[in-house]
Amino acid sequence: MELIDNKIKLRPFTDSDSKRLAELCNNKKIWNNLRDYIPFPYTETNAIDFIKYCQTENPQLTFAIEINGEFAGSIGLVRQPDVYKLTAEIGYWLGEPFWGMGIATKAVRLIVEYGFNNLGLVRIYTGVFDFNKASQRVLEKSGFKLECIFEKSVFKNDKICDEYRYGLINKNGTQHAI
């Protein structure tokens, strides 16, 4: 499955992405904004394992972000279990050379459309560390609502911080709940 908006394409990961994936993701400025289960330093072995995992997904939930044919980052949805099965958490990162050009906002819009229209999701949400204003802005520009702040819920880099929780509802997909 490929999702395209002008020069930005969301596409499945391929084995040949591993080198560039490792180069771009091995960046503390990225890792500082992500959960600790994501390795740092990020090696090519980590990249190969991640790509292998992505290739088992059916339906596809994790995409490579490509700009003008160049690998630039990753974006994905994580479907939630049990009664939350129509909800997914969104996560994304972009290589530093590509920051500040509106790419993440376009990628979020593409995957949200896919989640709502192709996967039948009713709700997409995420949590952002309080200091990550760029990601908060990406979500706001994409129509997400700041739903609440989980005070002091995050311990990252030996510091406690708040998590800003954002959600977006599929207005056409709520018939399941009625």
Ligand X SMILES: CC(C)(COP(=O)(O)OP(=O)(O)OC[C@H]1O[C@@H](n2cnc3c(N)ncnc32)[C@H](O)[C@@H]1OP(=O)(O)O)[C@@H](O)C(=O)NCCC(=O)NCCS
Distance, CA of 149 to CA of 129 (rounded, Å): 10
Task: Tell me which residue has tokens 């309080």.
Answer: 130
Binding-site size, ligand X (CB under 6 A): 21
Residue type, 23: E
- Is the Cβ of residue 29 or residue 171 nearer to ligand X in the bound state? 29
Dmax (CA) of the chain: 47
Q: Is 176 in the site for ligand X (CB under 6 A)?
A: no
Distance, CA of 100 to CA of 134 (rounded, Å): 9
- Residue 34's nearest CA partner among 79, 80, 75 is 75
- Is the Cβ of residue 44 or residue 130 nearer to ligand X in the bound state? 130
Nearest distance from C-beta of residue 176 to ligand X, angstroms: 27
Beta carbons of 116 and 125 less than 8 angstroms apart: no
Binding mask 32-71 for ligand X (x = CB under 6 A): -xx-------------------------------------
- Is the Cβ of residue 21 or residue 94 nearer to ligand X in the bound state? 94
Q: Is 26 in the site for ligand X (CB under 6 A)?
A: no
Task: Tell me which residue has tokens 């949200």.
Answer: 112
Binding range to ligand X, per CB under 6 A, among 44-52, 61-69, 78-86, 91-99 = 91-99
Nearest distance from C-beta of residue 124 to ligand X, angstroms: 13
Binding range to ligand X, per CB under 6 A, among 38-46, 58-66, 126-134, 150-158 = 126-134
**DSSP sequence for 94-115:** E-GGGTTSSHHHHHHHHHHHHH
Q: Is 133 in the site for ligand X (CB under 6 A)?
A: yes
- Is the Cβ of residue 31 or residue 116 nearer to ligand X in the bound state? 31
Distance, CA of 20 to CA of 22 (rounded, Å): 5
Which residues of the shown chain bind ligand X in the complex (CB under 6 A)? 30, 33-34, 92-94, 99-105, 126, 128, 132-135, 137-138
